[in-house]
Amino acid sequence: MATEQRVKRINELLKRQIGQTILEEVDFPKNILVTVSGVETSQDVTHCKVSIAVFPASETKNALAILQKFIYPIQKLVNKSLRMRPVPQIRFVEEKDMAPAQRVEAILENIKIEEE
């Protein structure tokens, strides 16, 4: 079992590394923006849930399907780049608290309409 402090450090490390790997390796359609919003690692450091936020929110299922298709190459690159053992097994999940993100999206849409 890992200490709480170690799990927090692992979460931050995984968040940065997985975000960078997704940016470099996964091609999403031009109208989809995907960000890693959080990582929750189990206490035994064998599994982690990676929360993703997708803009627009209507494309979440599509983005999750694309990420699931690339899960093995992403996991392989993360395993190779991190100098820790064990490296947690990655699982992508939808960000639950999307209300702030949807509010920002609505504001951006209003600005776009006003500029036209």
SS3 for 93-107 is EECCCCHHHHHHHHH
Which domains are assigned to the chain?
A: 4-115 (3.30.300.20)
CA 2 to chain centre: 23
What does pTM read for this prediction?
0.78
Which bin fits 50, alpha (ψ -120 to 50), beta or left (φ > 0)?
beta
The Cα–Cα gap between 55 and 34 comes to: 7
Q: What is the mean pLDDT of each run of 10 residues along the chain (116 residues)?
A: 86 95 93 92 93 88 94 94 89 80 74 78
Q: What is the pLDDT of residues 90-116, one digit of tens each?
A: 999 998 776 666 677 778 788 878 876
Token duo for residue 11? 């979460």
What is the rounded average pLDDT for all residues in the chain? 88
